[in-house]
A and B are shown apart, each in its own frame.
Chain A
Amino acid sequence: MPPDAELETLMVRYQQGDADAAGELVTRLSPAMHRFFMVRFVSRRFADDLLQETWLRIHEVRHTYRPGESVLPWLYAIARNIRVDQYRKVRRLEDRERQVERLPEVAAVERNQGPDLEALLATLPESQREVVALLKISGMSLEEVARATASSVGSVKQKAHRAYEKLRELLTAAGFNKVGSS
């Protein structure tokens, strides 16, 4: 059974009240979702809180999933909403711009261990970072990312293209001409 179909089956069982299916969904989907929160360069503890809050919200609104539709866009639309809500709440507590300026240096310093993904992504504007995270970390298709972010496929493609351009420039400037060459 393809992974998407498996997720859909688990989701339907979850809606029917199957706790095992819910546990399986949590186990399977949490790592990518946690990573999705981490690329916003928040602390691990905060990502844990966001993950927990997202699952609680998913549990509350699980009836809004329509059987037969892709699970990931539905799930990430909710995750994204939680992240934005929480981000707004804590925005005043930190100066994110300062971190964004500092992080590319971190990416360059850690050459010997290979490029730092979080640091690289932190150099991108939020919308591009989100698209790259959803495409490459969560493994969603362009269409699914468009659904999760309520935008068009063309817009997602454009953001991904621009993000790759910038990542390419940064990696080349930092001496990563080929993966594994450093």
Chain B
Amino acid sequence: MKENEIDGIFRQEVRHEVDPELLSRISASMAGSMRPVRPIAPVWMLASLLVLISAIISIACAGSIGMYGIRKLSVSEIGAIFPALAIFTCLAALLSVARMTPGGFRWKMTNAGTLLLIIVAGWVALDAALFHDYALGAFVPQGIPCLRAGLVVAIPTGVASWIVLRRGFAVRPSSAGLAAGTLAGLAGLTMLELHCPILLAPHVMVWHTAVVPLSALAGAFLARIATSPAAPAAHNPVP
């Protein structure tokens, strides 16, 4: 049996009636609350706004506690770290917007989890290429404050992102939360790169990087609990 013959079966069965009464009821209920609405802003505008918010919050926070980190970095390190962070932030912003628009634009890497993995792997690889001092130093006592500071910066970024994206409608809330959480985590990571003067490879690879997945998971978790169905099922689908 050929493919076009199977298509023929679908064509034969394509006519499908819906109860006209039901359609009238639906139309009437929609007409009852009809008013003009403003379409959601274009993708580029929302994504740019998210990138801007992320940059402002991370720079403002680093500025308020001191930009010691960037002063210790060489020109080549600055030239590698900040463009990479900018690219990651743009990708996370685009994906956050895509995830908040039903059937919206897509590119090959549509999965928020994939983006998170790429960012984490890319960032660790970049750190390995730039920082060669593998001394542990005071690994945990120095690491915890960095992790905490990064996550603290991620919170206002996440809240601001939610305000920007709140008019959207996430068809996959946990994926949307993961993307927005990744974006917020990147703001925390950017702040740490501007602020933290500790350039030991283990410190940067573990404590700085950890801000991104932790923030992403928190975003996914919050989105999931915020949208979890509270009421039990009211329908019985059994024919």
Contact = CB atoms under 8 A, between A and B. Distances in A.
Interface of A: 15-19, 22-23, 26-27, 30-32, 34-35, 38, 41-44, 46, 48-49, 51-52, 55-56, 59, 61-67, 69-70, 72-78, 80-81, 85-90, 93-94, 114-115, 117, 120, 136-137, 144, 146-148, 150-152, 164, 167-168, 171-172, 176-180
B101 A64 contact: yes
Contacts of A75: 102-103
A171 B6 CA distance: 9
A34 B16 contact: yes
A115 B43 CA distance: 45
Given A147-B104, A150-B106, 7 more contacts: A23-B27, A43-B237, A44-B239, A56-B30, A93-B237, A117-B10, A150-B175
Contact of B34 (A22, A41, A93): A22
A167 B232 contact: no
Contacts of A144: 103
Given A16-B36, A42-B237, A64 B18 contact: no
B236 A64 contact: no
A66 B41 CA distance: 8
Contact of A89 (B40, B104, B233, B238): B233
B127 to A, nearest CB: 31
A150 B10 CA distance: 24
Question: Which 10 residue pairs are nearest across A and B when measured between Cβ atoms?
Answer: A73-B103, A89-B233, A77-B102, A77-B103, A19-B31, A17-B36, A74-B103, A42-B237, A61-B169, A23-B27
A66 B45 CA distance: 13
A89 B229 contact: yes
B65 interface: no
Contact of B102 (A74, A93, A94): A74
B23 A26 contact: yes
Contacts of B235: 46, 49, 86, 89-90
B178 to A, nearest CB: 13
Contacts of A90: 233, 235-237
Interface string B160-186: 000000011101100100000000000
A23 B27 CA distance: 5
Nearest to A44: B239
Main SS of chain A's interface residues? helix
Nearest to A46: B237
Given A16-B36, A90-B235, A178 B172 contact: no
Contacts of A148: 103
B158 to A, nearest CB: 21
Contact of B31 (A22, A46, A48, A120): A22
B35 to A, nearest CB: 5
Interface string B196-239: 00000000000000000000000000000000010011111111
Contacts of A22: 27, 30-31, 34
A29 B13 CA distance: 16
A172 B42 CA distance: 49
B18 A34 contact: yes
Q: Which of B23, B25, B168 has the most chain A CB atoms inside 10 A of its CB?
A: B23
Q: Which of B18, B31, B35 has the most chain A CB atoms inside 10 A of its CB?
A: B18
A30 B5 CA distance: 26
